[in-house]
Amino acid sequence: MKYEKIYAIDTNIILDDARNFINLSDGGKNLIILPETVLDEVDIKKSGFDEINWQAREYTRISADEEMKDIRSFNQVKIVETHLLGVDILTISKDEYKADKVNTSGNIKNDRKILEVIQDLMQSPDYKDLIFISQDGMARKRSMSLGIRTEAMTLGGREIDYNFIKTVGVDEFPKDGEDIFTIYTKHKINYFNYVFVKDGQEKFACIQNNRIKYLDEDVLRKQEINPIGKEQLFYTNALLDDHYKIVVAEAKAGTGKTLLALSAAMKLVRDKTTQYNKIVYIRNSIESLQKGEDVGYLSGNDTKFEIYNFPLYDTLETIAEGMLKRSKENKPGKGNAETRKNGEAFSEELINEKVEQLVERYNVQTMWTGALRGRTIKNAIIVMDEVQNMSNSTGQLTLTRVDDTCRAFVLGSNRQIDNQYINKHTSALSTILSVTNETHPELNMFAVELVKVRRGEITEWAERIFSKE
């Protein structure tokens, strides 16, 4: 055989990214095998408004350029050889499947049909070493029981260095603006922040163009949401600094990634010296199609805003409550800081009213990923939330809608992947994190890992007892 590897791919590989077959082919070095049942499942997914539906339609569009090369058969397996975008593809099928005679659910039956025709094809010496690629753990388990070699889609298994904060002991604190290499010769591109330690004292600095820039902690701690701890301090500093076009936060649940991002975005919009006039919140839909199908590009105070963007709404509620509390504290005779603790909560009506004011004042908009194509976003702070649930194609689609008057905050956690078609190797978040150790001629980027839970004791406890790491 002329191919280095032979990959038989599952439906979820196409629905993750319609062009994954091109990546797997590695420039035509590898042969791609497509069971007919995979194409049936992709065809069924063409109708709808979720990301997987878009990927199904995209694959259909791509396939229009497929060229027929040969038709043959082996061991009751029909083989259609085609060529598409530099990739050799074999579509395999059978007239009758043993799996069709088994009384089981449709998904399980389809998995069995896929593996059945693959197993039959493997009786040929030419295909005995093929590898079944799937994101479905149960499908891989079944394939192993049948003696079929299997792997998950990893795209090379990207390595991510999370050492974004470097602690260095010094005899004397370096000067502001000093070259970092004169202080620490082992500096790397992804060491975005430094903690300089002298005699037990700490000073925090970021690194810009290899120069030390100390953080103004007094200013940073006077934000609408006060950063707690060095991780949040570095994060807030980057959010507010126009030096960084892309700010990435890989963060556990409850670490304040979205809260701090929105708070900083509001400050940037409020600041009349900046060009930003709106906040665009983007979150990939992984729920039922009915929840997200017609969200589009809408004003945040729309009813759909509340339904589709609960995380955003919850965050704005927190900001609103903080503002109301401070307003009350500053009014003579209207209570003090203990009021909220003593059980006097602000009414839901009052909080909602304040949220609506924030949405209007800061022009908070929501954008559904399914409505991004063809748009150009200008003069905005883009908050991309839960990016671990975005495929690479959706991440690319989102960020290519943004012009040079914008900044993007990319938030997520690979510990919380809910999209069944994506894993920690193939998410858009992983792709972005994997290039933090590179210089980029187009822009400056920043990344931080937030690990300290700030939401409360229950969240911290749950993270500890349920963590798999």
CATH number of residue 54's parent domain = 3.40.50.1010
Summary mean pLDDT of the chain: 87
Alpha-carbon distance of 70 to 396, in angstroms, equals 35
Domain match, 256 and 384 both: yes
Alpha-carbon distance of 143 to 129, in angstroms, equals 13
Q: Identify the band that residue 439 occupies on the pLDDT scale cut at 50, 70 and 90.
A: very high
Alpha-carbon distance of 467 to 246, in angstroms, equals 29
Question: Could you tell me if residue 212 is inside a domain?
Answer: no
Question: Could you tell me if residue 209 is inside a domain?
Answer: no
Domain match, 259 and 126 both: no
Domain match, 54 and 139 both: yes
Domain carrying residue 75: 6-151
User: What CATH number is given to the structural domain containing 455?
Assistant: 3.40.50.300
Q: What does the pLDDT look like over 101-117, one tens digit per residue?
A: 888 777 889 999 999 99
DSSP assigned state of 230: H
**Residues whose CB falls within 8 Å of the CB of residue 227, separated by 6 or more in sequence, listed in order:** 220, 221, 233, 235, 236, 256, 260
Give the up-direction half-sphere exposure of residue 190: CA atoms within 13 A in the CB hemisphere: 17
Q: What does the pLDDT look like over 277-311, one tens digit per residue?
A: 999 999 876 543 323 333 344 444 444 445 557 78
Question: Could you tell me if residue 13 is inside a domain?
Answer: yes
Q: What does the pLDDT look like over 163-177, one tens digit per residue?
A: 999 999 999 999 999
Q: What does the pLDDT look like over 204-250, one tens digit per residue?
A: 999 999 999 999 999 998 888 889 999 999 999 999 999 999 999 99
Alpha-carbon distance of 286 to 308, in angstroms, equals 11
How many domains does one find in the chain?
2
Closest CA to 299 of 350, 349, 362, 369: 362
**Structure pTM?**
0.76
Domain match, 146 and 51 both: yes
The residue among 128, 151, 174 that closes a domain is 151
First to last CA, the chain: 42
Question: Could you tell me if residue 214 is inside a domain?
Answer: no
**Residues whose CB falls within 8 Å of the CB of residue 444, separated by 6 or more in sequence, listed in order:** 208, 243, 244, 245, 246
Q: In the numeric block, which tokens belong to residue 156?
A: 């090379």
The residue among 151, 170, 190 that closes a domain is 151
Beta-strand runs (E) in 178-330: 193-198, 201-208, 211-214, 246-251, 278-283, 297-299
Residue carrying structure tokens 């953080």: 215
Question: Could you tell me if residue 163 is inside a domain?
Answer: no
Helix (H, G, I), strand (E, B) or coil at 418: coil
Strand-strand pairing, 193-198 and 165-169: parallel
Question: Could you tell me if residue 165 is inside a domain?
Answer: no
